[in-house]
Chains A and B, each alone.
Chain A
């Protein structure tokens, strides 16, 4: 009988694909970037394992930003959108049952955060965060409003493109990832110093959600599609045992 291959180490992270720690144009990174090289570590059980979450940890309605902070009978102002997609690994296999958390500004570009003092108005019906678990096929979905662009202190006239922050876990601590989702067609994407920390334009494209007309709900909500790829793992065929376990 042929045994299925065991799961081994995660593929090494492609550091030329990710942004470098230091990016002159993104000024805050200048003093917050380590100068020594990272110490490369072969995976041990400490990196291969990671926290798991279940349906007891969250509420089923946590993924609906249109309602999860709205007052009774209220609804946030802004373009109603669905953000949906799959969480996959680099082997193109779905990552089921993993926690996806998002946060964003409201339609006027204002965050519900005690440190945000932007002129854009707070929306009494919008909190700006959501979370969900992927299903058995790695699928997730949120309902929210399209966030507004907003200015930030970097150069005098820098504006963030509309974006949603996305946090994903995977199965191992080595897969932990935070990124940002942008929207197809936004002219601010190409001008953004944070987007431009990513050296490869192909990598930036991975962060641009596409209008998904087939997933829209007619007369109700526009849909955007955003797939997320986490690190994949080696198969340990022809190995007697998996080191570190």
Chain B
């Protein structure tokens, strides 16, 4: 008898829809239910490194802000270590490296407060520049979109980054570089995401 391969198929994705907040951020939907919501504190109180804020708007193919988007961030600490058993090294007590942000329902602006991650060793011992991994879901997005935030004050590291260098179209790499400014002494990076059209953000199939 012919041998069978017993792999399962992945469950197919469906859009998160417009009411994603009910499940993942019920306070934003307009009610209190959980003792604690998850993902509002990415770095925790003990994280070393520079405190930063990253802000932006997600826009659609018409240039309009996407106001019902939810983003999740996943990042290493300032030493380049992920809070995960498969990554060697310790992170600070309370550092999770994961966060969830939603937009202002009126403007579409979102912002995440964290620490700037350190460089992380990539494949083949090639160092990756500091980056925050993003996963984006919303009504009208059928499969969550993956991208990365890099930082414009890391020009040398970015130039050597093995992931940015996979992007054949050099001018598209700029869509992944957040721009730094100072606001009341805090480093605030601007990272707008364009789902479609001119300067469409690079999304990855990871």
Residues of A participating in the B interface, judged by any CB pair closer than 8 Å = 7, 10, 12-15, 17-21, 23, 26, 28-36, 38-53, 57-59, 62, 68-69, 88-92, 99, 101-104, 111-116, 127-129, 131, 165, 167, 173-174, 176-180, 194-195, 197-198, 202-204, 206-207, 228-232, 243-245
Contact = CB atoms under 8 A, between A and B. Distances in A.
Contacts, number: 269
28 contacts: A18-B143, A23-B142, A31-B61, A32-B140, A32-B196, A33-B140, A34-B201, A39-B203, A39-B205, A45-B121, A46-B82, A47-B206, A50-B84, A51-B83, A53-B38, A58-B38, A91-B7, A101-B23, A103-B23, A111-B19, A114-B105, A116-B19, A129-B26, A167-B16, A177-B10, A179-B13, A206-B11, A232-B7
Contact of B122 (A44, A115, A177, A232): A44
Contact of B206 (A33, A35, A43): A43
A20 B197 CA distance: 17
A114 B30 contact: yes
Given A36-B200, A115-B18, 4 more contacts: A127-B26, A173-B133, A177-B11, A178-B16
B10 A17 contact: yes
B35 A178 contact: no
Given A26-B142, A128-B22, A32 B60 contact: yes
A104 B16 CA distance: 11
A229 B29 contact: no
Contact of B62 (A31, A180, A195): A31
Nearest to B58: A32
**Interface of chain A, helix or strand or loop or mixed?**
loop
A81 to B, nearest CB: 17
Nearest to B66: A32
Contact of B19 (A21, A48, A103, A195): A103
Nearest to A39: B204
Contacts of B22: 103-104, 111-113, 127-129
A131 B197 CA distance: 37
Contact of B74 (A10, A43, A50, A228): A50
A38 B21 CA distance: 27
B17 interface: yes
A215 to B, nearest CB: 20
The 9 A-B residue pairs whose C-beta atoms are closest, nearest first, are A103-B23, A28-B140, A51-B98, A32-B140, A49-B84, A38-B205, A31-B61, A19-B142, A114-B30
A18 B13 contact: yes
A219 B16 CA distance: 34
B123 A44 contact: yes
B164 to A, nearest CB: 10
A6 B14 CA distance: 31
Nearest to B194: A34
> Of residues A46, A52, A174, A228, which shows the largest number of chain B Cβ atoms within 10 Å of its Cβ?
A46
B9 interface: yes
Contact of B105 (A19, A48, A53, A115): A115
A19 B97 contact: no
B128 interface: yes
A173 B145 contact: no
Contacts of A229: 8-11
Interface string B63-89: 010101000101010000011111110
A193 to B, nearest CB: 11
A84 to B, nearest CB: 15
Contacts of B6: 92
Interface in B148-203: 148, 163, 166-167, 172, 195-197, 200-203
Contacts of A17: 9-10, 12
A206 B14 CA distance: 12
Contacts of A99: 38
Contact of A90 (B9, B105, B128, B142): B9
